[in-house]
């Protein structure tokens, strides 16, 4: 995202850029250099966490307290959300959490992948919402992951990403 400023103070994005005054102005350079690196780490970590949920579904192995995560996904989709084609939806979820997670981690088409993950987190939050299992299963996890996915969907792949190397972004 190019946000270079013109003489009028307007950025190339058409908004006026204003920076907060730092208590320690000498840290400005550090923050400026660290932000793209730390955003890439955040995007990678989010993809890695999502991958840990997709891989057990793909391999048919247990994940935490779930003996069969794919069956758990099918059950949630079919019996809690009441959607048809639960097995097919569960396969799409598994693909999003494996292939999509890797794409997100490396910064390939981060916007659409993160948007799909945000929709998934909204669906999970909606399905678990009536009971809000704060302690048992932690509703805060899909809520927080949903907001993080939404942020990545708006922000894009960032500086250290495959999209940047390809000079192509969605």
pLDDT digits (tens, 9 = 90+) for 33-84: 999 999 999 999 999 999 999 999 999 999 888 899 999 999 999 999 999 9
Structure tokens at 73: 């996904």
Instruction: Please compute Rg for the chain using Cα positions.
Output: 19
Is residue 7 in a domain?
Answer: no
Cα 84 from Cα 89, distance rounded (Å): 9
Is residue 153 in a domain?
Answer: yes
Structure tokens at 108: 């390939």
**What tens digit of pLDDT does each residue of 109-131 get?**
999 999 999 999 999 988 887 76
**What tens digit of pLDDT does each residue of 132-164 get?**
656 666 788 899 999 999 999 999 999 999 999
Using the predicted structure, report yes or no on whether residue 10 has a pLDDT greater than 60.
Answer: no
Contacts within 8 Å (CB) and 24+ apart, 45-48: 46/104, 46/105, 46/145, 46/148, 46/149, 46/152, 47/101, 47/102, 47/103, 47/104, 47/105, 47/106, 48/101, 48/105
Q: What is the pTM of this model?
A: 0.82
**What tens digit of pLDDT does each residue of 95-112 get?**
999 999 999 999 999 999
Number of domain units in the chain: 1
Is residue 24 in a domain?
Answer: no
> Residue 5: pLDDT band by 50, 70, 90 thresholds?
very low
Domain containing 155: what range? 40-58+67-166
Is residue 147 in a domain?
Answer: yes
Contact 108/156 with Cβ under 8 angstroms? no
* Phi, psi angle pair for 75, to nearest 5°: -60, -45
Is residue 106 in a domain?
Answer: yes
Q: What is the pLDDT of residue 9?
A: 44
Is residue 16 in a domain?
Answer: no
């Amino acid at each position: 995202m190019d946000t270079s400023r013109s003489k009028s103070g307007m950025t190339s994005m058409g908004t006026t850029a204003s920076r907060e005054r730092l208590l320690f102005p000498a840290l400005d350079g550090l923050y400026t250099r660290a932000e793209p690196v730390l955003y890439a780490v955040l995007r990678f970590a989010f993809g890695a966490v999502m991958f840990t949920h997709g891989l057990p579904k793909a391999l048919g192995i247990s994940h935490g307290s779930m003996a069969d995560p794919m069956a758990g996904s099918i059950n949630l989709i079919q019996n809690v959300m009441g959607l048809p084609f639960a097995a097919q939806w569960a396969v799409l979820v598994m693909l999003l959490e494996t292939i999509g997670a890797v794409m997100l981690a490396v910064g390939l088409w981060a916007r659409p992948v993160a948007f799909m993950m945000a929709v998934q987190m909204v669906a999970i939050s909606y399905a678990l919402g009536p009971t809000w299992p704060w302690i048992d299963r932690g509703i805060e996890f899909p809520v927080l992951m949903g907001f993080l996915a939404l942020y990545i969907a708006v922000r894009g792949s960032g500086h250290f990403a495959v999209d940047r190397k390809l000079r192509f972004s969605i």
